[in-house]
Amino acid sequence: MNITGNTILITGGGSGIGRALAEALQAKGNTVIIAGRRQAALDEVTTANPGMQSITLDIQDKAGIESFAREVVARFPSLNVVLNNAGIMKPENVPAADNLAIAEETIATNLLGPIRLTTALLPHLIAQPRAAVLTVSSGLAFVPLAATPTYSATKAAIHSWSLGLRQQLKGTSVEVIEIAPPYVQTELLGPHQASDPEAMPLAEFTEEVMSILETQPEATEVIVERCKPLRFAEANGSFAQVFAALSARTH
């Protein structure tokens, strides 16, 4: 992926990894449009970053995604990159039967949302001279966290879907690039996560991601060093050990 001169749509761009990547990509000379449900959060980001644009989007709304895609293409005809970043992560207690609503919301947000949005935008992206679909999975796609089984499952599905999409788009102008974060200092699991010393600082994660994108333009996966123990656990025979260690954690 060429990381400059693009018009990039980033979902979940009002906070966390989405905001950090939006700001980093704008600094590289890209036109950036952020999307999310909370207009106030989007306004805060665009005010702090003159030139950045925003459009509201409820990634769970099937019909809304279709109309959103039409709007973003009409407003930004040079759009050639979509970064599917929006996601939620909530603990579930399956034996207590308090999980079903969380599971359905998580699947709608983390899995159906990116599939629906990418599908809606793909005819436009294929028509561009160069384009890219970026998906955000997780280290938990490769070694699940028992406390968040549906989140982990959706991220495993995003990994698999990215592989299939990449194969189907061979011979087109559209690249498919998967970004798999480790545990990062954001508020995905709540405010405590943003200062958890066990989590990777957001600035460090963003810098490493941007470095990989810039120095490895042919990369299909962006795996920072902190995520490699998860990404390659199955291959190197450490899966059971890593899974047990994750299961012992409270987050």
Q: Which residues have a catalytic role annotated?
A: 151
Q: DSSP character for 184?
A: B
Q: Which two tokens stand for residue 27?
A: 């600094």
CA angle 205, 87, 75 (to 5 degrees): 95
- Residue 129's CB is within 10 A of a number of other CB atoms, namely 6
Given a contact cutoff of 8 angstroms between Cβ atoms, the answer to whether 92 and 99 are in contact is yes
Instruction: Residue 163: count other Cβ atoms within 10 Å of its Cβ.
Output: 14
- Residue 219's Cβ-count burial label (10 Å; 0-12, 13-18, 19+) is middle
